[in-house]
A and B are shown apart, each in its own frame.
Chain A
Amino acid sequence: MEKILEVKDLELSFHTFAGEVKAIRGVNFDLLKGETLAIVGESGSGKSVTTKSIMRLLPEHSSEFKNGHILFNGKDLTKLSDREMQKIRGKDISMIFQDPMTSLNPTMTIGNQIMEPILKHRKVNKTEARKVAIDLLRLVGMPKPELRIKQYPHQFSGGQRQRIVIAIALACNPQILIADEPTTALDVTIQAQILELMKDLQKKIDTSIIFITHDLGVVANVADRVAVMYGGKIVEIGTVDEIFYNPQHPYTWGLLSSMPSLDVEEEKLYAIPGTPPDLLNPPKGDAFALRSDYAMQIDLEEDPPFFQVSDTHSAATWLLHPDAPQVEPPLSIIERMKKFPGSRYFTGTEGGTN
């Protein structure tokens, strides 16, 4: 499949009052055409910062690209000026944010807000743009679009606003849609509707989606591939089945084990002890080691490189080094691995993968 976006060795720091915060410490991934890549991580992992750096939305005076490239359509986005980025934003790469209450301008009608990118990027007149806007509203499932196009954001519910935001983002058929926790602030039933909408639209418009979230259920629902981030780096990346049924990094194990399952009775939830690292002074070696039950001496000294688990699956943990001792993952993870051919726990009774 064709690569739409290539992020190579990205490093970015913030200069704050307290010092230099190394928010992204070496991130590598590709985005393929038509796929949905989910980036999972907790607060401070760097997932939001990564996508904001792709869009170059970080404050210029306090953020700095220390290293790396973001290759899109033959250009390195880290090197472009703001004017050049403006031609890309909203047209080739669009972004939707978490809070539907603050994503829309309360003083503009939604019609004008949807038409804004259309008028800017596509050479059409206002009547034409209005027609496109109405079609978009219909596409995102808004009833009576011709009437509602004149209304203001406060006249819509949270879920409806998120639909409008999606309409604005897709107005110019972008190649990439970056969705930064688009359903975190929504109720479960509304979330389900919005996710269904996004998957539906992706098929129609054939756009690639980078989906950021901390909710592993949502990831299982939308993603083709998953990248797990911790402490400013990607620690594991693979297809959605590989990550959920054959995870290799202790952090991924921790994340999956700390979610109660609806069908199994559990005595105690596994909880990852401690808190995420302070990126003002990132720890030496493997950033997750201090919270891991599987830490080894080398984790305190050297940063692990990526080890290939399959063509599509790799993880940055010393546990995958050929000399590393074989460890037993937590019980709930073993249960998952039993369904995955290729893992050492595979029982051969369930087929589970594509």
Chain B
Amino acid sequence: MSSELKKLPAESFERITIDSSHSERIAKPSLSFWQDAWLRIRKNKAAIVSIFILVFILIMAFVGPMISPHDAETQTITHANLPPKVPGFEKLGFLDGVGTMAGKEVDLYEMKKVDTYYWFGTDGLGRDMFSRVWEGTQISLFIAFMAALIDMIIGVAYGGVSAFYGGRVDDMMQRVVEILYGIPTLVIVILMILFMEPGVTAIIIAITITGWIGMSRIVRGQVLRYKNQEFVLASRTLGASNPRIITKHILPNILGIIIINTMFTIPGAIFFEAFLSFIGLGLQPPAASLGTLINDGYKLVQYQPHILLFPSIILSLLMIAFNLLGDGLRDAFDPKMKD
């Protein structure tokens, strides 16, 4: 397969020496695992949007009640059951304080002679829904984060110890988990709540009592996988102690999975709390969480849909955003699956 040889300048055939240390150079910039994951996440639009939504909701949960002209507790009976009215939007035909009464569309604010704005409307006792919804979000988020944190701490510790020590220790610890897992969670929770003071603590305990098992299983699997990897063996041959191996070698490698799992635990916790509150086992009035608000709201959905609407939207956004973010993180931490 030769081609016609073109005439080449004489110097072309001069021998050159190659500096072989050149060949060892690495051209690309160095990226740690986290930097690389961040670059990947940035390209995932769903994840970025989710981050924005979550940050927004988080900020609003604290800022919301502060910026509202009304507070969450004050009951103004004369202002009861007002639909949402927001300055500026009213011109557009919605959020204009118009609701149905006896089948007819009436501007209820005019009717009840209310001259302030209730951005999310009011509930049956005349409380400002805007502040109530955001305070409820605060509580729901608090419960969810605390539950996720406790699940993570117990789950990582339990699963990690079980896997790292292995053998009989692992066998026994896993038998305990299996028994716990077999007991229906809802039954435990109901029994517990009947005996305890209903409130935030009770709910957190209810959620975490078996919630940590999922995390412990995952962590156990990961630790089992890593503890026999050659780099851990290498560390042992260098004389590393167990604490060193756990903190420097195993934990950094499983951190990604722990974060992802926590990301998915949070919406589960939020929803579980909402569910408990919805069936009446959660917070008691006047305390509000997204769940209690939804409970209040669904009874009135025909007449005052706004009471159900806003907490539902926020709950849905939280769930979707955490799930999308969790998915995005999973793809970012495990790039082999994508390419």
CA distance A301 to B261 in the complex (A): 53
Q: Would B27 and A297 count as touching, CB distance under 8 A?
A: no
Nearest CB on A from B327, distance (A): 17
A28, A281, A297: the one within 8 Å of B16 (CB): A297
Question: Given A289-B18, A290-B18, A298–B8 Cβ distance below 8 Å?
Answer: yes
Q: Would B15 and A62 count as touching, CB distance under 8 A?
A: no
Give A280's nearest chain B residue, CB to CB. Answer: B28
What 0/1 readout, one digit per residue, does chain B (7-25) give for beta carbons within 8 Å of chain A? 0101111111110101110
A74 part of interface (Cβ distance < 8 Å): no
Residues of A268-318 at the interface with B, using a CB-CB cut-off of 8 Å, are 273-275, 278, 281, 289-301, 305-308, 314, 318
Interface residues on chain A, number (Cβ under 8 Å): 33
B2, B15, B16: the one within 8 Å of A308 (CB): B2
B12, B22, B23, B339: the one within 8 Å of A297 (CB): B12
Interface residues on chain B, number (Cβ under 8 Å): 23
Give B20's nearest chain A residue, CB to CB. Answer: A273
Q: Would B13 and A325 count as touching, CB distance under 8 A?
A: yes
A295, A318, A321: the one within 8 Å of B18 (CB): A295
CA distance A142 to B12 in the complex (A): 59
Give A62's nearest chain B residue, CB to CB. Answer: B339
A62, A274, A322: the one within 8 Å of B24 (CB): A274
What 0/1 readout, one digit per residue, does chain B (310-339) give for beta carbons within 8 Å of chain A? 000000000000000000000000010011
Nearest CB on A from B22, distance (A): 7
B228 part of interface (Cβ distance < 8 Å): no
Q: Would A314 and B12 count as touching, CB distance under 8 A?
A: no
Q: Would B13 and A321 count as touching, CB distance under 8 A?
A: yes
Question: Given A16-B339, A298-B8, A291–B18 Cβ distance below 8 Å?
Answer: yes
Question: Given A296-B15, A324-B13, A325-B13, A306–B2 Cβ distance below 8 Å?
Answer: yes
Q: Would A17 and B338 count as touching, CB distance under 8 A?
A: yes
Nearest CB on A from B253, distance (A): 21
A187 part of interface (Cβ distance < 8 Å): no
Residues of B within 8 A of A (CB): 1-3, 5, 8, 10-18, 20, 22-24, 27, 40, 335, 338-339
Top 9 closest A-B pairs, CB basis?
Answer: A274-B23, A298-B12, A273-B20, A306-B1, A308-B2, A297-B14, A305-B3, A324-B13, A296-B13
Interchain Cβ contacts under 8 Å between A and B, 10 examples = A16-B339, A28-B1, A274-B23, A281-B27, A289-B18, A291-B23, A294-B15, A296-B14, A296-B15, A308-B1
